[in-house]
Structure 1
Amino acid sequence: MLIFIGILFTLLILVFSVLNNIFLGFGLSISLLFFTFVALKRGYSLKKIGMLYWVETKKSLDIIIILILIGMLISSWLSSGVISSIIYYALKYINPNLFILCAFLITSLVSMLIGTSFGTVSAVGIPLVIIGKAAGINLGLLGGAIFSGAYFGDRTSPLSSSLLLLCNLTNLKLFDYVKKLVIDNIIPFILCIVFYLVFSLKYPLTSIDNRLSIELYNYYNVSILLLLPAIVLFLLSIFKVKITHSLPISILCAFILDILIQHTSIYNFLNCLILGYTNNSDVLKNIIQGGGIISMLKTCYIIIISCCISGFFSGLNIFDSFKEKLKEKNLSQSSIFLVTVILGIINAAVGCSQTIAIILTLDIVKDLYKDQPNDELALDISNSAILTPALIPWCIAALVPSSLLKINIYSYIPFAFYLYIVPIIHFIRKKFNLFKSENKDLNKESI
């Protein structure tokens, strides 16, 4: 009973924090103390509890390193003029009447190439939002298009860490499963194009003038060469170079260009990497700024506490009795998928992590799929636990991109159509037995 009180308490305190703009780390810390008390009541020693927390926290170190590197990447791209150059050339070539649609298509393409929603938001999402701010466009709508495109690749790209994790957990061949995902994506992707086309035509980029382009050109030494750090990052991702290697290389490239083209001092550049970038332009100072290691510290703290909470659930086998009750019910395929979606939402809401949502949801529902092929289980997880965390404002999958974009954390949710359409279409397929999956062997290959 105490477990469910703790889960409910955690959800309430997180919702309260979001609605009142309170740092989520406070609420999660209180929840962690409560769950620690529950573990003590169950007879676990503080040492044992600490070990459970540490095991899960160690798993978060990679993502913390990536987030710190992304903070450094953003500030280096801002300082060197990479983002300013992307904006300058985008303003020249993007059709203003189709700006929202272009934002969705560009982020979809980039996310497929590099396989990371965070990297996509950093590379192209930030410049798109800066253009949108200057034009006075609805940032919730624009953010929804960017989130949809970013999570298109996070779900489908063979370079996606979420997809690699899922294939490992379900023993599937990576590229055979990607082919299945691409086919499964056709209808949702077309519907997203239609929706964003309608919104593009209704809200065209008409209010922007040449002042932004002129100020960018005058304040920075805009050059086609300044696109090199972004191109390097994309190419390294395509060639499957680890993001922990590709990000520093891109930062180093930006550093060299910053020294040679913008004539920034080494001290100012290093200061920028830590504290973030600022400028003195009256026009640009409110839109070309941010990044730095310091901008990621709060998010890193939330990740660590979230992993500790995950350690509590996995270490104490909290859901064993619930799994037995589910197995006793004779659920239809559509009902099983609905349960998977609900569990994905709850696990992401409590654990605040896409990874936690994938692992816990899969662990709870896998016995329900014994009579189905593994690719059907994987597809249900792809269409639930990988996507739904991006709809929960306090979850890392939503919190990090919205922080990077500097948009209201829940303003984009109504417009992130891809995150809704995929599970809805999949449920309809299950409910009416449409487009039946081929029951063929997709055994795990070397990935």
Structure 2
Amino acid sequence: MTEYKADFNSYLIFAVSLALIGLCILLNVPLYFGFAGAVAFSAAMLVRQGHKLRTLNNMMLKGIKDCSTLFIIIVLIGATVSIWLSSGIVPTLMYYGFEYIKHINYILACFLVTAIISVLMGTAIGTVSTIGIALIGIGKGFAIPEQLLLGAVVSGAFVADRISPIAGLVNLMLKTTDLKYREYAKSMLNTIIPSLIIAASAYYFIGKGYMSAIDTAKIAIFQGNISSAFLITPVLLLLPLVVMIMAVCGVKPIINMSVGVAGGSIISVFLQKKAVSEVFQYILSGYKSATGIEELDKILRGGGVQPMIEVLLIVAGAVALSSLLEGTNILNPVIANIMDRAKTKMSLIVRTAAFSSLLTIATCDQTAGIILLGRLLKKRYEELGVNKLILARTIADTGTTIAPLIPWNVNSILILAITGVSALQYAPYAVLCYTAPLIAVLSGCFRERGKMQKNIVFRL
């Protein structure tokens, strides 16, 4: 296969691909058209460079095949949301949650609860699609803006991808950079703790403005209508608990989510007295409640496999484009070309942060940034005397964390499918996703600068 060099065509493929995707967002055109155009343009340019079309097709098919687990998970997410609504699990969480909202700063609570749950579950999207939708539902009941609620939930949920010992991205990072979890986690705390404090402070002050808006009479009405429409009992909370324990024990996501869907279906039939045909309809098309309160019915709806079809097409397009960029070696020369210009430790850290973010933007996922930068930069970090823990931490705090802010990223697309809220709407409120990259760069640079100053003093 022809070796691809970092020339004008490399950057042209990047620019045109991002332009096509961005144009779809601006014109409100389905994103899969943008990805289809980007794939077609990239393939045409690569054929001109000497690559065979059959080889390119095989690359894309292999990439899609390798992501078959992801496609199954997407389908299961749609089924989980609808079934956990119909089974009364989410309504039960809301019912008991209403009891506590009277006395707390709810925005801050959303952030802290999702942060803790996400680390235990090891999955950001899994957290959003389970406990996240319940927390958002409770907040929406009191006219708290949905985009603000989701911003707090997303900030907390994506803590998992940075430090949870059972998160897929964390384990991929450890494998790629040859690190042990204990040393990695210790290093990550240097940036996670400050970013958590800043985000929590922001949500505390934002949330104070909504504490007075909570109407206890409205709470009683909501609870009454929920208990009329569903059988409400703490027993229903056992299924989410089982799912969470299975996640902590390292059970594969497909098995874990299948248990959640199967358990929810059984509860829907035997406890909520739904017909089997109704349950299948919920799984396919989504759930719509009929509690008698319009505000509540707008909250208790969503999910279904059918709404996920567009998500599957978008993810398939993103995977195909990413497979072309990686398989034809476009990315490696571009990364090497820019990173070789880093002559100081601080410059290397800043460039790592920038490129980690750029790869997440360009490839629509965090995986490429972890694998490519982790492999390519280990030697460069050694040459400049920078601990590879800083390499891993910088990638995790930048490319991994900003993923939900990018409208065409796989994570944002899934969040949109789960909640109906786009990245452009909730991104301004996802405080942690902004503070983490900034703290990562400042921490890495000042740490290295401090070492340099100590060395100078020592020599004197």
TM-score (norm. length: structure 2): 0.90
Q: 425, 440, 446: which is aligned to 2:439?
A: 425
Q: Offset of 1:207 from its aligned partner?
A: 4.3
Q: Offset of 1:170 from its aligned partner?
A: 0.9
Measured at CA, do residues 324 and 278 of structure 1 come closer, stay the same or move farther in structure 2, by a change above 3 Å?
closer
Measured at CA, do residues 323 and 153 of structure 1 come closer, stay the same or move farther in structure 2, by a change above 3 Å?
closer
Contact 1:121/1:401, CA 8 A, preserved across alignment: yes
Distance 1:163 1:300 in 2: 24
Give the corresponding residue for 1:336. 348
Q: Offset of 1:184 from its aligned partner?
A: 3.4
Distance 2:336 2:256 in 1: 45
| Structure 2 residue 194 is the aligned partner of structure 1 residue 184 | no
Distance 2:175 2:46 in 1: 30
| Structure 2 residue 130 is the aligned partner of structure 1 residue 123 | yes
- Describe how 1:190-229 pairs up with structure 2 within 5 A: 190-204=197-211, 206-208=213-215, 209-210=218-219, 211-229=221-239
Give the corresponding residue for 2:254. 244
Distance 2:353 2:94 in 1: 38
- Describe how 1:374-393 pairs up with structure 2 within 5 A: 374-393=388-407
Contact 1:347/1:360, CA 8 A, preserved across alignment: no
Give the corresponding residue for 2:457. none
Give the corresponding residue for 1:359. 371
Q: Offset of 1:326 from its aligned partner?
A: 3.0
Contact 1:277/1:292, CA 8 A, preserved across alignment: yes
Q: 334, 340, 344: which is aligned to 1:322?
A: 334
Contact 1:81/1:262, CA 8 A, preserved across alignment: yes
Give the corresponding residue for 1:398. 412
Q: Offset of 1:13 from its aligned partner?
A: 2.3
Contact 2:404/2:423, CA 8 A, preserved across alignment: no
| Structure 2 residue 96 is the aligned partner of structure 1 residue 89 | yes
Contact 2:177/2:388, CA 8 A, preserved across alignment: yes
Distance 1:356 1:386 in 2: 10
SS across alignment from 2:28: coil
Give the corresponding residue for 2:425. 411
Measured at CA, do residues 30 and 312 of structure 1 come closer, stay the same or move farther in structure 2, by a change above 3 Å?
same
Q: 262, 265, 281: which is aligned to 2:291?
A: 281
Give the corresponding residue for 1:152. 159
Distance 1:303 1:336 in 2: 32
Deviates more, 1:351-360 or 1:187-196: 351-360
Cα deviations by residue, 1:122-180 (Å, 9 ceiling, x for unpaired): 11111121122221112222221111100112211111111011111111112332233
Contact 2:369/2:395, CA 8 A, preserved across alignment: no
Deviates more, 1:248-257 or 1:144-153: 248-257
Q: Offset of 1:182 from its aligned partner?
A: 3.2
| Structure 2 residue 172 is the aligned partner of structure 1 residue 173 | no
Distance 1:334 1:296 in 2: 43
Measured at CA, do residues 435 and 164 of structure 1 come closer, stay the same or move farther in structure 2, by a change above 3 Å?
farther
Deviates more, 1:393-402 or 1:34-43: 393-402
Q: Offset of 1:240 from its aligned partner?
A: 1.3
Measured at CA, do residues 218 and 374 of structure 1 come closer, stay the same or move farther in structure 2, by a change above 3 Å?
same
Contact 1:100/1:199, CA 8 A, preserved across alignment: yes
Contact 1:78/1:277, CA 8 A, preserved across alignment: yes
Measured at CA, do residues 431 and 176 of structure 1 come closer, stay the same or move farther in structure 2, by a change above 3 Å?
closer
SS across alignment from 1:22: coil
Deviates more, 1:73-82 or 1:10-19: 10-19
| Structure 2 residue 55 is the aligned partner of structure 1 residue 48 | yes
**Structure 2 gap segments, 5+ residues each:** 1-7, 452-460
Contact 1:97/1:200, CA 8 A, preserved across alignment: no
Q: Which amino acid aligns with 2:361?
A: A
SS across alignment from 1:203: helix
**Structure 1 gap segments, 5+ residues each:** 438-447
Cα deviations by residue, 1:337-356 (Å, 9 ceiling, x for unpaired): 22222222222222111223
Cα deviations by residue, 1:248-299 (Å, 9 ceiling, x for unpaired): 1122221222122111111111221111112333423321111111122211
Measured at CA, do residues 434 and 213 of structure 1 come closer, stay the same or move farther in structure 2, by a change above 3 Å?
farther
Deviates more, 1:323-332 or 1:425-434: 323-332
Deviates more, 1:191-200 or 1:341-350: 341-350
Give the corresponding residue for 1:440. none
Give the corresponding residue for 2:303. 291
Measured at CA, do residues 330 and 138 of structure 1 come closer, stay the same or move farther in structure 2, by a change above 3 Å?
same
Aligned-pair RMSD on alpha carbons? Answer: 2.0
Q: 243, 259, 281: which is aligned to 1:271?
A: 281
Distance 1:375 1:34 in 2: 38
Distance 1:44 1:73 in 2: 42
SS across alignment from 2:425: coil
SS across alignment from 2:343: coil
Q: Which amino acid aligns with 2:133?
A: I
Contact 2:335/2:355, CA 8 A, preserved across alignment: no
Distance 1:105 1:436 in 2: 33
Q: Offset of 1:363 from its aligned partner?
A: 4.6
Q: Which amino acid aligns with 2:337?
A: K
SS across alignment from 1:159: coil
Distance 1:355 1:117 in 2: 14
